Structure 1
Amino acid sequence: MNVSQTMETEEDLLTCLQIKMFHPQQSSKDVYRLIPLGSRSRHSADDPLRLGRDGQTSSYILQDLKVSRKQLSLQAYRTPHNPDLLFTIQNLSQRSRLTVSNKTLGYLEKMDLPQNALVEFGEYVMVITREPGEAKATFEVEFQVLLMPPSREVSTFVERTKPVMETGLCSNGFAVEMKWNGPLETDETLPCFS
């Protein structure tokens, strides 16, 4: 039997979770020392990706005593009629909240991870972007450090796909600037005065 018959075939395009992180004291602390920055790591889709302080239970470790031993989990899944690999995010911390795109998750609560998400816990802020791929069994993770904290503009970018209600408020409660350009409909039976 030759080598090509025994090797597993590699999938052409893997789904990638790009995780950009910020901590206000990241220049003075070595919090990202155990995280592979700037390179893509492969991860099995059937194994939850865990982030936390404990090296035995976490896939990626943050060297910070304020981070829970088990902070959060990202779990891949698929639906019957969608070829994309999707993810849920779950709060594993009993002592701190996890905010995902302005929605707060308590202990063991989880939700679907949007394609672009602003994730906050403790003093950490992460922007997670999912790049779709064709893979079914594995995905990639790429960590980067943000030099500046994500602003409200990032939050607006994350929420861009949500509809704006007639009140001028997005579903996250932020006001949206509405311009009045005159009537959208006219009634020809009403007299017009100049």
Structure 2
Amino acid sequence: MNVSQKMETEEDLLTCLRVKLYHPQQSGRGLYTLLPLGKRCRHSADDPLRLGRDATACTYALADPRVSRKQLALHAYRSPQSPDMLFTIQNLSQRARLSVNSAALGYLERADLPDKALIRFGEYEIVIILESGDAKGSFEVEFEVLAVPPSRETCMCVPSMTPVMDTGSCVTNGFSAEFTAIGPLETDETLMCHF
């Protein structure tokens, strides 16, 4: 087989890491001016993708002096059990802890990156969503900015419902006194709501 037959073709669907960023003071501060927002960038799978404030040492940089020179790295890999490209995330910062879905990583510690992960360091909240593809030698990265912190979007109940802490049941916001007059429910009772 010659070299041209082994190379990826334009038709190959590339794995994509969708990186959604949020910082409480992101408006007007220019934190993301060094990132290619809204466009997909191709990245070689054998090269770690680094994010930090140093644009020469990192693949992508944040214009924020509070971010470590090298903050984190994403490493692509494959396993014999899966045809998909998989990733690990590594904390490269000696001074800041990094959390992946609430699991803390110390300096140089790594964790497998799930298909959807909430990454936190400093005041940053980053959601990384992994979209599988066929290509084996490269993947794409796409950055976007979120208007609200992604941690606010996580609720164990239906989105239009508010949890009741003492029972664990959900009571719908905006429903009439018919539902609120019932009071707290016992743990073995259920409240049926039809939407």
- The normalised TM-score by structure 1 is 0.77
Query: For residues 75 and 82 of structure 1, what CA distance do their matches in structure 2 show?
Result: 16
Query: Is the CA contact (8 Å cut-off) linking 2:8 and 2:135 kept in structure 1?
Result: no
Query: Is the CA contact (8 Å cut-off) linking 2:8 and 2:137 kept in structure 1?
Result: no
How many residue pairs get aligned? The number is 163
Find the counterpart in structure 2 of residue 35 from structure 1: 35
The Cα shift of 1:151 comes to 2.9
Query: For residues 90 and 167 of structure 2, what CA distance do their matches in structure 1 show?
Result: 30
Residue 176 and residue 116 in structure 1: after superposition, are their counterparts in 2 closer, same or farther (change >3 A)?
A: farther
The Cα shift of 1:113 comes to 0.3
For 1:43-89, what per-residue CA distance to the aligned partner results, in whole angstroms no more than 9, with x for missing partners?
00000000001111100000100000000000000001211000000
The Cα shift of 1:30 comes to 0.4
Find the counterpart in structure 2 of residue 145 from structure 1: 145
Residue 63 and residue 23 in structure 1: after superposition, are their counterparts in 2 closer, same or farther (change >3 A)?
A: same
Match of 2:168 among 177, 180, 185: 177
Question: What CA RMSD, in Å, does the superposition of the two structures yield over aligned residues?
Answer: 2.5
Residue 148 and residue 112 in structure 1: after superposition, are their counterparts in 2 closer, same or farther (change >3 A)?
A: same
Query: For residues 50 and 80 of structure 1, what CA distance do their matches in structure 2 show?
Result: 25
- The normalised TM-score by structure 2 is 0.76
Query: For residues 90 and 60 of structure 1, what CA distance do their matches in structure 2 show?
Result: 15
Find the counterpart in structure 1 of residue 58 from structure 2: 58
The Cα shift of 1:181 comes to 5.5
Q: Where does the alignment leave 5 or more consecutive residues of structure 2 unmatched?
A: 158-165, 170-186, 191-195
Matches within 5 A, 1:34-113: 34-113=34-113
The Cα shift of 1:12 comes to 1.7
Query: Is the CA contact (8 Å cut-off) linking 1:101 and 1:117 kept in structure 2?
Result: yes
Residue 8 and residue 129 in structure 1: after superposition, are their counterparts in 2 closer, same or farther (change >3 A)?
A: closer
Identity %: 61
For 1:127-180, what per-residue CA distance to the aligned partner results, in whole angstroms no more than 9, with x for missing partners?
0000011110000000000011113433769xxxxxxxxxxxxxxxxx993752
Query: For residues 45 and 70 of structure 1, what CA distance do their matches in structure 2 show?
Result: 19
Q: Give 3-state SS (helix, strand or coil) of 1:151's partner.
A: helix
In structure 2, give the amino acid aligned to 1:30.
G
Q: Give 3-state SS (helix, strand or coil) of 1:86's partner.
A: strand
In structure 1, give the amino acid aligned to 2:146.
L
Residue 11 and residue 137 in structure 1: after superposition, are their counterparts in 2 closer, same or farther (change >3 A)?
A: farther
The Cα shift of 1:28 comes to 2.1
Query: For residues 109 and 156 of structure 1, what CA distance do their matches in structure 2 show?
Result: 29
Query: Is the CA contact (8 Å cut-off) linking 2:48 and 2:75 kept in structure 1?
Result: yes
Query: Is the CA contact (8 Å cut-off) linking 2:15 and 2:133 kept in structure 1?
Result: yes
